[in-house]
Structure 1
């Protein structure tokens, strides 16, 4: 999926220019890669927010810069810690015919048989690295766990072949496991459910 962002080239100096751009509702940005030098520009903050909200972080963002269309991926970005306002965004220019590697969220889908039987699901991996051409990059990878019983573990190598992309993590890396509830955990759960008993100090 490709999303067009209108970009305006900007000066790099003085540094106060970036603050002025943010005050005007624009995001100081840069793009590099795919045999092109670093170019500084800005995009509208609301348009960038909307594009990411609707298409995700792994979408192809086509920059319309000085009449030229540049296919990019959002490489890194910085937000204000408190206000979550944009501070800077860095885009990576890509060749649409060449594979790239990005991180995608890993989402467990369904309720396992083991959990229904009283087991506990432990998730060890929350994101994976995927390789694909830019237009095939997934925002997330869903993993069906409904058939997992108590004692089962799922590793990368257990996943079926994906359509359009490849997961490049080590095949033995564990995604999740369903384990039995330990005696200590059962005791802690039972204790947490017991009402507190308050006794009065006997009169002297």
Structure 2
């Protein structure tokens, strides 16, 4: 999995006043859990742009001014309710020999013939929770939908891998094409280029919301 480097400074004061002063200076107070003790640090808000404002999953290398360096993942983030500025971020420290739980995005490749024939593409699982060692974390799952016809689906079973454990039942549907009004079934011997009537199916908005399994870290008071 790709990693993003965050350069910061360890915090000596962790009270509310100190955190407010950091935010006023354009800094974000952060905490790294999972080690022997929580590590409090701050970094410029701009440094988190590629980590926070992206659908992709990344690990983080936290580099402090004293040369201390550690690998982590973002566990929780707080935004200002009005301005959407980042108020606080929690991280969880990674260790090479310790498995962690993380949500991995799913990317669809190709165009479904079922959708072209009027079916509806339902993207049921945009994120999949997995458990793996840090070095075995994939950047994303790729699913080819170019063979999906009306009534077809792709389940978690087709994504299983020895390097990680997917924390969903094997029968869980990730993406499917369902029949929609005006959909037509194309015969196998139908020649390409024949005109097909019917509305093109839109991606379903009824995908189920999933709850990410969180890492086994104690999330105590943020500051």
Please give the range of the TM-score, normalised by the shorter of the 2 chains.
Answer: 0.7 to 0.9
Is the alpha carbon distance of 1:177 and 1:3 closer, same or farther for their aligned partners in structure 2, counting shifts above 3 Å?
closer
Residue aligning to 2:14: 12
Is the alpha carbon distance of 1:126 and 1:4 closer, same or farther for their aligned partners in structure 2, counting shifts above 3 Å?
closer
Aligned residues of 2:29 and 2:41 also touching (Cα < 8 A): yes
How far does the alpha carbon of each residue in 1:11-60 deviate from its partner, in whole angstroms, 9 at most, with x for none? 112x11111101111101111104x2112221111122245568954223
Q: State the shift of 1:119 in Å.
A: 1.6
How far does the alpha carbon of each residue in 1:140-183 deviate from its partner, in whole angstroms, 9 at most, with x for none? 32211111111112211133x55954433211111122122247
How far does the alpha carbon of each residue in 1:55-100 deviate from its partner, in whole angstroms, 9 at most, with x for none? 9542232332632212211111112233221100111111023321
Residue aligning to 1:144: 144
C-alpha distance in structure 2 between counterparts of 1:84 and 1:153, whole Å = 37
- Long gaps (5+) in structure 1: 184-188, 190-204
Is the alpha carbon distance of 1:81 and 1:57 closer, same or farther for their aligned partners in structure 2, counting shifts above 3 Å?
farther
Residue aligning to 2:81: 81
Aligned residues of 1:59 and 1:135 also touching (Cα < 8 A): no
Aligned residues of 2:4 and 2:58 also touching (Cα < 8 A): no
TM-score (norm 1): 0.77
C-alpha distance in structure 1 between counterparts of 2:173 and 2:57, whole Å = 25
C-alpha distance in structure 2 between counterparts of 1:5 and 1:116, whole Å = 44
C-alpha distance in structure 1 between counterparts of 2:137 and 2:143, whole Å = 16
2:30 partner SS: strand
Residue aligning to 2:203: none
Q: State the shift of 1:129 in Å.
A: 0.7
C-alpha distance in structure 1 between counterparts of 2:110 and 2:162, whole Å = 20
Higher relative contact order (CA 8 A, sep 6+): 2
TM-score (norm 2): 0.71
- Bigger Cα Rg: 1
Is the alpha carbon distance of 1:162 and 1:60 closer, same or farther for their aligned partners in structure 2, counting shifts above 3 Å?
farther
